[in-house]
Amino acid sequence: MNKHLFTIAAFTLVAVSIFSCSKSVTETAPVVTPPPSTGPIPVVPATDPQVAATIGFFLDTWQPKTYTAPAYAEGAVPATAPNTVTIDASDIITKIPTQIFSHNANTWMGTFVDQPSFITNTTNLKPNIIRWPAGSGSDVYFWNVRPGDIPEGAPTKYIDKDGKLVDVSFFYGRSNDNWRASLDNYYSMLQMTNSKGIITANYGFARYGISANPVATAAHLAADWVRYDKGRTQYWEIGNENYGDWEAGYRIDVTKNKDGQPEFLTGKLYAQHFKVFADSMRKAAAEVGNANIKIGAVLQESPTASWQTNTTQTWNSTLIPELNNKQDFFIVHNYITPYDEKSNAATILNAASTVPASMMNFVTNQIKNNGGEVKPIAFTEWNMWAKDLKQQVSNTSGVFAVIVQSEAIKNKYGMAARWDLLNGWDGGNDHGLFSDGGSADDPRWNPRPSFYHMYYFQKCIGDRLVSTTVQGAESAGIKAYASTYSSGQVNVTLLNTSAKAQSFEIKFKNFNAGSRYYWYSLEGSNDNGEFSRKVAVNNVGPEGAAGGPANYASLKAMSATTTNGIKVTVPALGSLFVMIDK
Distance separating the N- and C-terminal Cα atoms of the chain: 73
Tell me the CA distances in angstroms from 533 to 258, 337, 437, 450, one per residue in order. 52, 19, 14, 10
Handedness of CA 418, 421, 426, 429 (dihedral sign): positive
Query: Quick one: 356 and 470 in the same domain?
Result: no
Residue burial 499-524, b: 16+ Cβ < 10 Å; e: rest: eebbbbbbbbbbbebeebbbbbbbbb
Instruction: Looking at the structure, tell me whether residues 473 and 389 fall in a common domain.
Output: no
Are 368 and 400 within one domain? Answer: yes
Inside any domain, residue 526: yes
SS3 538: coil
| Cα(511)–Cα(513) distance, integer angstroms | 6
| 88, 109: one domain | no
- Is residue 115 classed as helix, strand or coil in its secondary structure? coil
**How many Å apart are CA 152 and CA 413, to the nearest integer?**
38
Tell me which residues of the chain have a pLDDT lower than 50: 1-37
Those residues whose C-beta lies under 8 Å from the C-beta of residue 477, and which sit 6 or more positions away, are 496, 497, 498, 500, 502
Instruction: Please tell me the distance from the alpha carbon of residue 122 to that of residue 106, in angstroms, as a whole number.
Output: 14
Domain count within the chain: 2
Query: Peptide bond before 70: cis, by omega within 30 degrees of 0?
Result: no
Verify that 292 and 151 share a domain, yes or no: yes
- Structural domain contains residue 222: yes
Q: Is the full-model pTM beyond 0.75?
A: yes
In the chain, count of helices (H) and strands (E)?
Answer: 10, 23
| Other C-beta atoms lying within 10 Å of the C-beta of residue 457 | 24
Of 362, 392, 394, which is closest to residue 545 (Cα–Cα)? 394
Same domain, 279 and 348: yes
Which residue from 383, 401, 342, 412 is spatially nearest to 522, judged by alpha carbons? 401
Strand partners, 378: 331, 415
Whether 28 is in a domain gets the answer no
What confidence tens digit (pLDDT) does each residue in 357-374 have? 999 999 999 999 999 999
Mark which of 427, 460, 493 sits at the end of a domain: 460
Q: Which of 460, 476, 505 is a domain's end point?
A: 460
Residue 203 and residue 278 in one domain: yes
- Give CA–CA dist 119/330, Å, rounded: 30
In this predicted structure, what is the pLDDT of residue 141? 98
Cα–Cα dist 440/284, whole Å: 47
Q: What is the CATH number of the domain that holds 197?
A: 3.20.20.80
Judge contact between 135 and 381, C-beta under 8 A. yes
pLDDT given at position 2? 40
- In this structure, the answer to whether residues 256 and 188 fall within a common structural domain is yes
Model pLDDT, residue 386: 98
Radius of gyration of the chain (CA): 30
CB contact set of 305 (below 8 Å; sequence gap of 6+): none
Q: Are 356 and 34 in contact (CB under 8 A)?
A: no
- Residue range of the domain that includes 135: 100-460
Q: Tell whether 447 is covered by a domain.
A: yes
**Do 452 and 563 share a domain, yes or no?**
no
Q: Using DSSP, state whether 11 is helix, strand or coil.
A: helix
CATH number of the domain that residue 481 is part of: 2.60.40.1180
Q: Hey, is 113 helix, strand or coil?
A: coil
Q: From 395, 425, 460, give the residue that closes a domain.
A: 460
Q: What is the pLDDT of residue 38?
A: 55
Residue 143 lies in a domain: yes
Q: Are residues 74 and 203 in the same domain?
A: no
CA atoms within 13 A on the CB side of 286: 6
Q: Is 48 within a domain?
A: no
Residue 404 is assigned to a structural domain of this protein: yes
In a domain, 249, yes or no: yes
Please check whether residues 210 and 264 belong to one and the same domain. yes
Same domain assignment for residues 453 and 471: no
Reduced to 3 states (helix: H, G, I; strand: E, B; else coil), residue 55 is: coil
Q: Which residue from 419, 378, 475 is spatially nearest to 104, judged by alpha carbons?
A: 419
